[in-house]
A = this chain, B = another copy of it.
């Protein structure tokens, strides 16, 4: 089998952990597999480099930031190959230039375009374990880019897709995808399988096991993903197109309290107003999640929407700049909100899910501010203080622990 294995920064944070991971890689190789390893920068390396840059400039060039940060992964792969060499295994480290990892041109947040698998394939043919820098790419100017959050996962999936690997294993500090965050919901249960779509919903809803882009890419190229622990031998969770077993109604509960609600109150009710508002926000790179529109008084309406807490300052600026033009009476910002969601491929054909979820909220005396639904998920906006209680209530009412 050809297996791609990705290890995060904490898994290779010091020499002891580097050797632990090296031994894990060696086991897979010894079992007769071809192995490509994707690594993040060691431990705090990326944070340390960012701190170094901030000493020089408060707002450093993003191009130069990528040039700087990319060194973290390059150090990781070189050290890992030294460890594998020390254990007696043939191996070679490669950076983004060497594997022809092409991305879009946007520094610090580039997207994967394509990869030339020639060099990796040649090294595999030579029986080498190939250790590749995650997180980084090269754009059409031949400049180094980085892929943004979760970038190393994306690198691993991209390589797995290009090489038609049998599977892509993402090693993390948890042993798989759970029905809810085990730190919040004590009875949370590990899933053996989950579909790409469910994983996408869970990822975007605040279950930070896999980053969305890597799951999207896996879905696009039908790469079998496995999320598993770098600390134990547990089987982990398989993410794939269709799950073999009869799907449960609900696969998981997710909570996200790093969001804010924005309410635009008393907007003059003329056509195209909503389009104008959301197009302007989008142009400034502000992602809007749940949107609720209600008729107000006197031919005016109210629009509420949620955004990431980190985008709040930018959103406030955009709204201040356009308030006059949009004819808004009053703006209200609320950071004391959280979003709780249930996800499950099974709910598409079952109209009772929403009702059951609301019942759980009612039984726990939790007030719902907004509601959003899709084919495979239902989200409610509630007070931040109620989030953990809501997650547990939903987990219980759907019997997810069984």
Query: Contact residue range for chain A?
Result: 35 or more
Q: Is A56 an interface residue (CB 8 A)?
A: yes
Contact between A68 and B79 (Cβ–Cβ < 8 Å)?
yes
Given contacts A61-B85, A85-B61, contact A143 B67 (CB under 8 A): no
Q: How far is the CB of A314 from chain B (nearest CB, A)?
A: 22
Q: Count this chain's copies in the assembly.
A: 2
Q: Which residues of chain B are near A142, meaning CB under 8 Å?
A: 97-98, 119
Contact between B86 and A64 (Cβ–Cβ < 8 Å)?
no
Contact between A56 and B93 (Cβ–Cβ < 8 Å)?
no
**Residues of chain A from 182 to 218 with CB closer than 8 A to chain B in the complex:** none
Q: Is A303 an interface residue (CB 8 A)?
A: no
Q: Which of B70, B71, B82, B93 contacts A53 (CB 8 A)?
A: B82
Q: How far is the CB of A90 from chain B (nearest CB, A)?
A: 10
Q: How far is the CB of A222 from chain B (nearest CB, A)?
A: 30
**Residues of chain A from 44 to 89 with CB closer than 8 A to chain B in the complex:** 49, 52-53, 55-57, 60-61, 63-65, 67-68, 70-72, 74-75, 77-79, 81-83, 85-86
Query: Interface of chain A, helix or strand or loop or mixed?
Result: helix
The answer for the CA separation of A338 and B111 in the assembled complex, in Å, is 60
Contact between B74 and A60 (Cβ–Cβ < 8 Å)?
no
The answer for the CA separation of A77 and B72 in the assembled complex, in Å, is 15
Contact between B98 and A143 (Cβ–Cβ < 8 Å)?
yes
Q: Which of B67, B68, B83, B93 contacts A57 (CB 8 A)?
A: B83
**Extra contacts besides A64-B79, A74-B74, A98-B143 (20): CB < 8 Å:** A19-B56, A49-B75, A52-B75, A52-B79, A56-B79, A56-B82, A56-B86, A60-B86, A61-B82, A63-B92, A64-B81, A64-B82, A64-B93, A65-B82, A67-B81, A68-B78, A71-B71, A71-B75, A95-B144, A97-B142
Q: 8 nearest interchain CB pairs? A: A71-B71, A68-B78, A67-B78, A60-B82, A57-B86, A64-B81, A56-B82, A15-B55
Could you show 5 A-B contacts with beta carbons less than 8 Å apart? Answer: A19-B56, A56-B82, A57-B85, A65-B82, A74-B74
